[in-house]
Every structure is written in C-alpha cells, then in structure tokens.
Amino acid sequence: MVALITGGGRGIGRAVALRLAKRGWDVAIAARSAEEVAATAKEAGGRTLAITADVASPEQVRSMVRRTETELGPIELLVNNAGVVGPMLPFWETDPAEWWRCQEVNVRGPMLCCREAVPAMMERRRGRIVNLSSGAGARAIPNMSSYALSKAALMRFSEQLAMELTPYGIAVFPIRPGVVRTRMVEEARKSIPIIQTFLDDGKDVPPEATADLVEYIAAGKADALSGCLLSVQEDWDAMVRRAEEIRGEQMYVLRVKEFPS
C-alpha cells in the first residue's frame, strides 16, 4: 500500500506520514523543504521516499507523482495537506499577488495532485483521496478572505470529485483537522482573534487526531460518506451508521439553506 502526502515535512502532514508508516504503508513525503521531508522520512523508517516539490508547480507535481509510482508503486492514498494561510488583513489591504498565491497552493495544488494521481486510480478502480480543509471553509472569518475562500473551494472540489469518481470505486474526503498548533496557526493567532480564543480556551487538538482520521479513511471505514466533510471531533462510526440519512439530508456538504416551500 502506497500513500503520497504533501506538506509532509512538519505538523499535520508529518503526523500522518509517521502514522501510516507505522501501520505498514509505503509513504512518499513531499514538501518544499528538503531538510524537513528528509527528517520525517528518516524518522518514519520503512519504505519511505522524501520528495522536494511545490504543489503549485504542474511540472513538480507531475514529477512527484511519477517518482512515487516508479519507486514505491501505485498510489492507493493521496493526502493533499500542503497549504498556506495567505494574507491576514482586510481584503482591500491585501497584496493581490499574495492573496492569489494562497489559491495557487491551497486549491490549484490539490487539483494538480488529483489530476496526476486519479487516472491510475481509475484504471485500477480503487483509491482514496483526502483533502485538508478547515472550519474556515464553512464560515466567513474577518481578515482571512483568501484562506477561507480556498478552503471552501477545496470542500466543493472534494464533493464534485467524489461524485464523478464514485463509479470508479474512488472515495474522496475533505477533512477538518480543528485548530492544531502548527507553524501556520502560530502565525495566524497574532492577527485572528478567534484562533487565539480557541487556543486560550484549550480547544486546540494535536496533529495525531488528524492522523487518526486519515487512518480511519485509509482503512475504508468511511467510504459510505465519500464527499462529506469529516472532522476530527466527530463520532465517525456513528456517522457511517447514519450515512443514508446524512446523504438524504445533505449534511456535511456545502449547501444554501432555503425557506421551506
């Protein structure tokens, strides 16, 4: 079993890589920092591959996927974790290039990774994709317009992809890791009061909680909920038991709530 994890050099990606390696997966760990991915790969042990790549670059993504397939084998699990927080200012004060760079990494990156990995999954008629979204994708947060928009787009992309890939036996999940004390959160807490409040109230969660969820998904236990947003703080077994109801009520997806007719 082969997993490819982007943004795997530190934080959530690192925790996921270490967990999967411990469970016997062959893991390709990708990030822009060669030093960080090498350190994670060394700690993971087993059959691991450290790849330096920028997910916003089509050429580097193509090379990353091909190298993973050549050196480790067919990708069974793709975890799109790489992301940036973007400018943390009122929209009109942001630099357009910096604002758009957030979309390049957080939306175009997963799109490019899926575009390269999905065809082989379709041929084998199996595979799973996990896209790291955020609670910010489901609500507006002051001074985080670029990040919130990117995560909402990633949720919709996941839902769209899940629908189109269901006939090929491929499941897709946007997931919500909660507030994790990553480098990104440490940066954002200075400008975004709600994040600081979460931390002050002790509502942050460890990166291993996301590893738990990814492991659950990788085992195929959540396939009935493909396309739905899963959170580290939910009871996943209970959700799976109520999958038919969740789908019928269109829960855990992006929808406009209308007045009853």
- Give the CATH number for residue 12: 3.40.50.720
Residue 133 belongs to a domain: yes
Residues 6+ apart with CB under 8 A from 118: 127, 129, 161, 165, 170
| Signed CA dihedral, 21, 179, 243, 253: sign only | negative
| pLDDT (0 to 100) of residue 198 | 64
Residue 257 belongs to a domain: no
- The count of structural domains within the chain is 1
What pTM does this model have? 0.93
Residue 253 belongs to a domain: no
Domain encompassing residue 105: 2-248
Give me the phi and psi of 67, to 5 degrees please. -65, -40
Catalytic residue, from 147, 168, 203, 252: name it: 147
203 in active site = no
257 in active site = no
Quick check: helix, strand or coil at residue 115? helix
Residue 92 belongs to a domain: yes
Euclidean distance between CA atoms 240 and 226, whole angstroms: 10
Closest CA to 3 of 180, 128, 102: 128
pLDDT tens digits for range 61-102: 999 999 999 999 999 999 999 999 999 899 999 999 999 999
Per-residue pLDDT, averaged over 9-15, amounts to 94
Catalytic residue, from 151, 190, 216, 257: name it: 151
Euclidean distance between CA atoms 259 and 77, whole angstroms: 40
Token pair belonging to 165:
């890939």
CB 174 within 8 A of CB 234: no
Strand order in the sheet with 127-132: 48-52, 26-31, 2-6, 77-80, 127-132, 170-176, 230-231
**What's the chain's average pLDDT?**
93
